[in-house]
Amino acid sequence: MLRTRIIPCLQLLDQNLVKTIQFKRPSYIGDFANTARIFNELEVDELCLLGIRNTRNKTTPDFKVLKQVANECFMPLSYGGGIQDFETAKRILAMGFEKVVLNSASFRNPQLITKISEYFGSQSLIVSIDVKKGLFGRERVYSCSGTRTERYSALEWAKSVEEKGAGEILPTSINQEGTWEGFDIGLVSRIANAVNIPVIASGGAGTLMHMLDAIKKGEADAVLAASIFHYEIFSIKQVKEYLKNEGVSVRI
């Protein structure tokens, strides 16, 4: 049985560590390098870095920042934001990152999914899917930091990227992101039951029960969270001990 991963997330904007609410109003919360070092000392399962405005602002990843993190941290690392071509993905993976995360580029250049997967292996590639519900509950998939509507449903796109070679899927509820009100369990569950690759729940973690629900009810293979760790509401150890006591297999 595979162990459930708990993945802290660092949102990067102009070399600053920030936190958003529903993909908007990024607020400065600290130094990214120091925060990454702290998570490294805690030996977290994996650390995810996201350049939240790179694609929207048409900027490339900050390789200086990524190199610094890769040189100082020894846990598995993933990065997404501004990756538009194979050479950029290759450069990031060569730095020591285990995985790259694609979102906007997966729509504009879907063959990039297959190329990365075939060259580095599907385990090196996460495709994120950002979903927002409208006034009447209709779901829409977005790219470019939640500013561009795509024509696919979340399930359609999840199945499509799996076929193209994605190794994991990261569905994020834009409505829930940064609210501390819990994950969109329905979204996570539908995708988890539609694909045969790991699914990482994202967007809305605020309590230990939210984490458990994502795993038990949403059938997520991993849980990604930011606010509860940045604001020290819970520690990684507290989350894992709680989940272990509830029968979830985690690495202590």
Active site residues: 130
Classify residue 178 by burial, with Cβ atoms within 10 Å: 0-12, 13-18, 19+.
buried
Instruction: Check: CB of residue 199 under 8 Å from CB of residue 231.
Output: no
- What does the buried/exposed string (b/e) look like for 218-240 if buried means 16 or more CB atoms within 10 Å of the residue's CB? bbbbbbbbbbbbbeebbebeebb
Q: Specify the pairing of strand 47-51 against strand 125-133.
A: unpaired
Q: Specify the pairing of strand 148-149 against strand 139-143.
A: antiparallel
C-alpha separations of 87 from 67, 143, 160, 161, 164 in Å:
16, 21, 23, 20, 19
CA pair distance 235, 123, nearest whole angstrom: 27
